[in-house]
């Protein structure tokens, strides 16, 4: 093996060991909570079926008791909110988050962070401020291009567009002083690529002078939704070139703080990490927020007392990448179990900003 190859191999081993240790730490916990699986949008590429509604009080109680059981042993807790649209159950989000904040108060060694994947329709300035006070300071909001394009794909449940109100909310966050980080996730399709240079320039000039905002570019994937057969997606072979060209637009300007990012910078999916867990609105346990209807992703149930009834036979396959040291499996453990493509939505701490 030549020296360059040997050095690369050694670096991969080092990173693998570091990631594995991080994934297996008992003093770190990433909990993803779906307070409701209903949504006020019907995005054309969505894979969810909205068959489950709000969390019942016993499940909310179970989440609180689970956290109570874990907090004494934790150094870091990251609580992610997902759905459906989590802000349709904002009262549950605030209830559980308030419980965590109260629990953290007596544990000075505990670092708690919160984040939310939201369509942004209900994320007005008042809501952002309330959530920020409860430790929820990372938000990921999706845009599909300029208004006429966005409103064809990110459609409200009543059939109307969502862009105008979403844009007003984002401007209100920009003009406020809430200590948050907002990732503007821009979905790319063959149909909106021609409009992207102007749209990304608009995002750059409107938001990226503010260090709290960043842009994440992501080609739309087929993830098992009802419209997969008719969706037009960008060929994987051309994605890198397209992303590089569009990211260059985002980096242009007087302010060197303007940044861009892409999902491929995340080497290990949250679903592959032993210390990451999903609690669905009905109390079922899962690892992946995409393959929600697949039996392989039904891992058991959260009890009202906070204990977990796990099906270990279904849990082990999600963690198989650590045994095989296969980076492809670690990037998407659902591949081979459920889906054939990486998840559309990354759940977890906001991507690092790149200057």
Q: pTM here?
A: 0.88
259-310 pLDDT, tens digit per residue, is 444 433 447 999 999 999 999 999 999 999 988 989 999 999 999 999 999 9
Is the separation of the CB atoms in 39 and 84 below 8 Å? yes
pLDDT at position 97 over 80 = yes
User: Residue 264 has what pLDDT?
Assistant: 39
102-152 pLDDT, tens digit per residue, is 999 989 999 999 999 999 999 999 999 999 999 999 999 999 999 999 999
User: Residue 267 has what pLDDT?
Assistant: 77
Mean pLDDT, rounded, of the chain: 88
User: Residue 219 has what pLDDT?
Assistant: 86
pLDDT at position 1 over 70 = no
């Amino acid at each position: 093996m030549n020296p360059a190859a040997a050095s690369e191999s050694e670096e991969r081993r080092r990173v693998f060991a570091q990631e594995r240790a991080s994934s297996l730490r008992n003093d770190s916990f990433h909990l993803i909570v779906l307070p409701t699986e209903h949504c006020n949008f019907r995005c054309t590429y969505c894979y969810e079926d909205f068959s489950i509604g709000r969390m019942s009080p016993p499940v909310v109680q179970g989440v609180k008791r689970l956290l109570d059981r874990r907090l004494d042993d934790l150094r870091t807790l990251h609580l992610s909110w997902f759905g459906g649209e989590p802000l349709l159950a904002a009262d549950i989000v605030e209830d559980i988050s308030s419980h965590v904040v109260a629990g953290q108060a007596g544990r000075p060694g505990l670092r708690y962070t919160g984040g939310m994947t939201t369509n942004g329709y209900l994320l007005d300035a008042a809501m952002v401020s309330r959530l920020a006070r409860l430790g929820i300071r990372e938000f990921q909001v999706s845009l599909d291009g300029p208004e006429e394009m966005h409103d064809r794909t990110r459609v409200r449940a009543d059939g109307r567009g969502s862009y105008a109100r979403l844009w007003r909310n984002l401007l209100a966050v920009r003009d406020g002083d809430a200590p948050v980080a907002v990732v503007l996730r821009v979905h790319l399709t063959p149909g909106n690529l021609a409009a992207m240079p102007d749209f990304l320039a608009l995002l750059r000039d409107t938001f990226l002078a503010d260090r709290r905002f960043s842009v994440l570019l992501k080609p739309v994937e087929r993830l098992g939704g009802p419209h997969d057969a008719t969706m037009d997606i960008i060929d994987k072979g051309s994605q890198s070139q397209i992303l590089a060209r569009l990211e260059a637009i985002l980096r242009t300007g007087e302010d060197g703080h303007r940044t861009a990012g892409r999902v491929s910078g995340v080497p290990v999916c949250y679903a592959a990490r032993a210390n990451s867990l999903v609690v669905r609105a009905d109390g079922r346990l899962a690892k992946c927020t995409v393959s929600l209807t697949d039996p392989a992703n039904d891992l058991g149930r959260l009890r009202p007392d906070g204990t977990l009834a796990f099906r270990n036979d279904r849990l082990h396959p999600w963690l198989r990448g650590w045994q095989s040291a296969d980076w492809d499996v670690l990037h998407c453990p659902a591949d081979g179990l459920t889906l054939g493509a990486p998840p559309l939505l990354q759940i977890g701490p906001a991507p690092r900003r790149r200057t």
